[in-house]
A and B are shown apart, each in its own frame.
Chain A
Amino acid sequence: MGKPISIDSRQGLKGLHHVGFVLDGIKAAWPICLGYLPLGFAFGVLAQKAGLDLLDIALMSILVYAGSSQFIAVAMISGAAAPASIILTTFVVNLRHLLMSSSLAVHLHGEGRGFLSVFAYGVTDESFAVNMAKFRDGGWHRYQALAVNQMSNFTWIGSTILGGYAGQSIPAGCYGIDYALSAMFLCLLTFQLKGRQYFLTAIISGAATIGFALVVPGNGFVIMASLFGATAGFALKRYAQRKRGSYA
């Protein structure tokens, strides 16, 4: 008789625990959601202008769930690009998640495949920035991180559908909608400027982006510049450490 009760109470506790994690996730994710609302809305409007209906918009936000590549895809659809070239561009643009997932893997050491395959779906520039900061501070649980991912995900899907719906009555180019993505990237960049080394890395990477963009054809220049910038920044950090070490 006593056993079922103890199991019940433990399950109750576990349930409460999960509710707490979800609440923490919502708290950490709300700046992302606040950013996704205008951004998703802007995407929905532009997608509607490009000829996607509400179902296409919803499906793309659910299956792709990667803001910048969705913006680029819509621009390419407007320009009547071939589906294969849109998919290839999406791949190249989103290849950066490879690097983000690699960084996150450090903090998800030894997790099961089921959890990882669900978590991977929600890795974006924004959730990555928030979760990495939380993981670095310590005491961040995987379910809290997952809650951040999923809250952001639901907000993105909802706001893009809303934008697609409203797009029917909003003229193109209105309200600075074209600038939503740039502003978002600018803000996420400031989150990462945590010291001189990071600032230097940003400058190197930015300059390399312009250099590669002008010399290398296609869309690979962002990835190339990111790898170059991170490696240069890492080398500088190592150099500074060694120099300090030798004088110490």
Chain B
Amino acid sequence: MLKTEYILLIVGMGLVTYIPRYLPLFILAQRNLPRWFIEWLDMIPVAILSALVFSEIFLSGPPRHLDMLQIKSLVAIPTFLIALKTKSLGGTVISGMILFWMAGKIS
């Protein structure tokens, strides 16, 4: 890719990322939201994060397919337990990386 193409790509990525971050704040912060909508929004974070986790650790590809016995899925079990136990973001990231690295060496 050319230098200008990189810059255009990054600016484009920046724009499409900023707009969904901004619009709801701009539109919704000015009005009262119905109770049910707030309760629904409350379920969003857990749903998104679970979707991201499952897509990261159980999918493989391309072509995309389900693989629950690959190293990244197996390492997810101790990593998950460490996260539950320590509640530390940094500790979990570093332990997960070390476990994944070691598992790769053993297998």
Contact = CB atoms under 8 A, between A and B. Distances in A.
Interface of A: 31-35, 37-39, 42, 51-52, 56, 59-60, 63-66, 68-69, 73, 77, 83, 86-88, 90-91, 94-106, 108-111, 113, 116-117, 119-121, 123, 125-126, 128-129, 132, 173-193, 197-198, 201-210, 213-214, 221-222, 225-231, 233-234, 237-238
Contact of B79 (A51, A183, A229): A183
B31 to A, nearest CB: 8
A182 to B, nearest CB: 5
A225 B44 CA distance: 11
B17 A132 contact: no
Interface in B86-101: 87-101
A227 B17 CA distance: 19
A105 B20 CA distance: 13
A116 B25 contact: yes
B22 A116 contact: yes
Given A60-B13, A105-B29, A237 B43 contact: yes
A83 B21 CA distance: 22
Contacts of B89: 31-32, 34-35, 126, 184, 187-188
A101 B24 contact: yes
Q: Which of B54, B88, B99 has the most CB of A within 10 A?
A: B54
Given A100-B48, A186-B96, A192-B45, 20 more contacts: A34-B88, A77-B1, A91-B20, A95-B20, A100-B21, A103-B42, A104-B25, A106-B38, A116-B25, A117-B22, A121-B18, A179-B100, A182-B53, A183-B95, A187-B93, A202-B46, A208-B51, A221-B51, A222-B52, A230-B46
Interface residues of B, number: 77
17 contacts: A64-B13, A91-B20, A100-B45, A103-B44, A105-B24, A105-B29, A109-B32, A113-B26, A123-B21, A179-B96, A187-B83, A198-B46, A201-B47, A214-B65, A226-B44, A230-B47, A238-B39
Identify whether the interface residues of B are mostly helix, strand, loop, or mixed: helix
B97 to A, nearest CB: 4
A10 B56 CA distance: 51
Contacts of B38: 106
Contacts of B12: 83, 87, 90
A101 B20 contact: yes
B39 A213 contact: no
Contacts of A229: 43, 46-47, 50-51
Contacts of B9: 73, 83, 86-87
